[in-house]
Amino acid sequence: MASVACALALGISSVGYAQNPTIIKRSIDFSPKSPSYAVTDSAPTQSRYSNRDSAYPSDAASPSDSGYQEGRSVSVRRPSLDESTEPLIEDQRERLFDELAEEFSMFDRLGNLVRRVSTLVKPSVIHIEAHKTEKNESYDEAGAGVVLRINNETWVMTNRHVIVSASPKQILLRTSDGREFHPVKVLSDPSTDVAVMKVNGIDLPAARLGDSDSTEIGDFVIAIGSPFGLSHSVTFGILSAKGRRDLSLGEQRIDLQDFFQTDAAINPGNSGGPLLNLRGEVVALNTAIASSSGGSEGIGFAIPMNMAIKVADQLVRNGQLRRGYLGVTLDPDFTVADLAAAGYREKGGALVKNVRPGSPAEIAHLQRGDIIVEFDGSPVENDDHLVARVGLTPIGSNIPMIIYRDGKRYRTAVTLTDMN
| Cβ proximity of 277 and 215 under 8 Å | yes
Report which of 169, 160, 157 is spatially closest to residue 131, judged by C-alpha positions.
Answer: 169
- For the question of residue 13 being annotated catalytic, the response is no
> SS3 letters for 305-371?
HHHHHHHHHHHHHHCCCCCEECCEEECCCCCHHHHHHCCCCCCCCEEEEEECCCCHHHHCCCCCCCE
DSSP codes, 270-292: -TT-EEE-TTSEEEEEEEEE--S
> Which H or E element spans position 403?
strand 398-405
CA dist 420 and 417 (Å) reads 9
| Cβ proximity of 207 and 121 under 8 Å | yes
- Cβ neighbors of 168 (< 8 A, separation 6 or more) are 182, 183, 184, 185, 186, 197
Residue of 233, 271, 291, 296 marked catalytic: 271
- For the question of residue 65 being annotated catalytic, the response is no
- For the question of residue 82 being annotated catalytic, the response is no
Residue of 161, 191, 212, 384 marked catalytic: 161
Residue of 127, 189, 191, 193 marked catalytic: 193
CA dist 107 and 5 (Å) reads 33
Give the catalytic positions in this structure. 161, 193, 271
